């Protein structure tokens, strides 16, 4: 390995060790891995949020996904993701989302249930679609879901996530990520979005990544920008 690569790798691991008491990730899925007869993917994530004019706080979680190919084109999968935090002012809750998928080639239908520990009962049924593909050196992931509230006091919302990563070589990837969440009904004046860049380093059997970005929480009272740093480990 070239000297510059060694230096980058060492700095990368040191930053992760300093920022994250637990390694972190997003539940990112790769098209090449899902082409295997059976695949199991997982990720650990650690998020640091610093809202403008408010105290910083952290959240962390885990995602797991198992996929089985039925034949050349069709497949089934099950998974779950979980995250939350213990900051009593900013993020004193936990969310878990079990789900199932059925896919035809690169197109995945997804449905599941989101359970939250908030006393307001923030539980939702959800359904939507993934598109997961690899085109040359580009890895593409699109995730669009509709969340139907199970509490009449809360609103439904739509969540659209997109990620494109480019492989510089067999070891390093860089990418861009974006997400939009918009509420309906009485909360239709509320929406949330973020944009970020990311860098990823592949090791034997797992990858480590950093994703710095900015999130915007937009309500009728105004917009609160937030610096968001995610560190993650996928396997």
Query: Which residues pair with residue 192 across a beta bridge?
Result: 181, 217
CATH code for position 226: 2.40.160
pLDDT digits (tens, 9 = 90+) for 126-155: 999 999 999 999 999 999 999 999 988 899
Tally the domains of the chain. 1
In the predicted structure, residue 4 carries a pLDDT above the cut 70: no
The pLDDT of 32-36, averaged and rounded, is 92
Sequence-distant (6+) residues with CB within 8 A of 131 are 106, 107, 108, 140, 141, 142
pLDDT computed for residue 93 by the predictor: 86
Q: How far apart are CA 93 and CA 119, in angstroms?
A: 9
Answer yes or no: are the C-beta atoms of 190 and 183 closer than 8 Å.
yes
pLDDT of 122 reads: 86
pLDDT of amino acid 80 = 97
At 214 the pLDDT is 98
Tokens found for residue 8: 């980058």
Over residues 161-218, the pLDDT tens digits come to 999 999 999 999 999 999 999 999 999 999 999 999 999 999 999 999 999 999 999 9
- To the nearest whole percent, how much of the chain has pLDDT over 90? 77
Q: Give the residue from 39, 23, 83 showing the smallest Cα distance to 207.
A: 23
Assign residue 222 a region: left if phi > 0, alpha if psi is -120 to 50, beta otherwise? left
What is the pTM (predicted TM-score) of this model?
0.85
As a whole number, the mean pLDDT across the chain is 88
Which pLDDT does position 11 carry in this prediction? Answer: 43
Q: Which domain range does residue 227 map to?
A: 3-234
Q: With 90 as the cut, is the pLDDT of residue 157 above it?
A: yes
């Amino acid at each position: 390995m070239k000297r510059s690569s060694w230096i980058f790798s060492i700095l990368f691991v040191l930053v992760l060790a300093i920022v994250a008491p637990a390694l972190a990730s997003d539940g990112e899925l790769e098209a090449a891995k899902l082409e295997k007869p059976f695949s199991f993917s997982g990720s650990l994530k650690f998020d640091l949020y610093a809202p403008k004019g408010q105290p910083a706080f952290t959240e962390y979680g885990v995602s797991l996904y198992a996929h089985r190919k039925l034949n050349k084109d069709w497949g089934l999968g099950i998974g779950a993701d979980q995250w939350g935090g213990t900051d009593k002012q900013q993020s004193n809750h936990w969310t878990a989302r079990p789900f199932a998928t059925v896919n035809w080639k690169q197109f995945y239908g997804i449905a599941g249930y989101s359970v939250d520990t908030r006393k307001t009962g923030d539980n939702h049924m959800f359904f939507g679609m993934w598109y997961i593909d690899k085109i040359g050196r580009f890895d593409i992931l699109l995730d669009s879901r509709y969340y139907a509230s199970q509490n009449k006091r809360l609103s439904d919302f739509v969540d659209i996530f997109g990620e494109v990563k480019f492989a510089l070589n067999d070891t390093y990837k860089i990418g861009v990520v974006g997400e939009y969440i918009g509420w309906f009904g009485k909360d239709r004046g509320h929406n949330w979005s973020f944009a970020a860049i990311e860098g990823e380093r592949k090791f034997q059997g797992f990858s480590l990544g950093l994703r710095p970005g900015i999130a915007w929480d937009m309500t009728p009272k105004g917009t609160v920008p937030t610096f968001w740093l995610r560190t993650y480990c996928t396997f």
